[in-house]
């Protein structure tokens, strides 16, 4: 089956620093990738949609200058949380779709803690 990986699985950083999270589709080409954020005991919230070679489309209320998304290849998308603050601490999850958007394959998530 389709596999999506994320790296790192968890990260702790200091307030004011930037953190990059990678999302890779291991055995298929991901035309579209999605980034979600999930706070404890809450549901997933879609942050942005990225298509390979195009600028990401952000959901309302998500700061594009704070959450930089790059989808440079069909197997890799990155999310950079710039100038992180404690309120950015969350579980960040990516998903990827191949030629069909009917099925999305989710990564295992990255837990970010900002101190």
Partner 1 sequence: DAKTTQPPSMDCAEGRAANLPCNHSTISGNEYVYWYRQIHSQGPQYIIHGLKNNETNEMASLIITEDRKSSTLILPHATLRDTAVYYCIVGSSNTGKLIFGQGTTLQVKP
In the complex, the residues that contact partner 1 under the rule CB under 8 A are 4, 6, 32, 34, 36, 43-46, 49, 91, 93, 95, 97, 100-109
Q: Which is nearer to partner 1, 77 or 107 (CB)?
A: 107
Asked whether the beta carbons of 36 and 112 are under 8 A apart, the reply is: no
Three-point CA angle 62, 26, 41, nearest 5°: 40
Q: Which is nearer to partner 1, 51 or 70 (CB)?
A: 51
Q: Which is nearer to partner 1, 62 or 82 (CB)?
A: 62
Q: Which helix (H) or strand (E) segment is 11 a member of?
A: strand 10-13
Coil vs helix vs strand at 87: helix
């Amino acid at each position: 089956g389709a596999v999506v990986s994320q790296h790192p699985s968890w990260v702790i950083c200091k307030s004011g620093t930037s953190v990059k999270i990678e999302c890779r589709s291991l055995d298929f080409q991901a035309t579209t990738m999605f980034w979600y954020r999930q706070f404890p005991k809450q549901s997933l919230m879609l942050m942005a949609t990225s298509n390979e070679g195009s600028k990401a489309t952000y959901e309302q209320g998500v700061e594009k200058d704070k959450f930089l998304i790059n989808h440079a290849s069909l197997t890799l998308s990155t999310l950079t949380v710039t100038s992180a603050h404690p309120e950015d601490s969350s579980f960040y999850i990516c998903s990827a779709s191949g030629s069909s958007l009917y099925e999305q394959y989710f990564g295992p998530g990255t837990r970010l803690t900002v101190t």
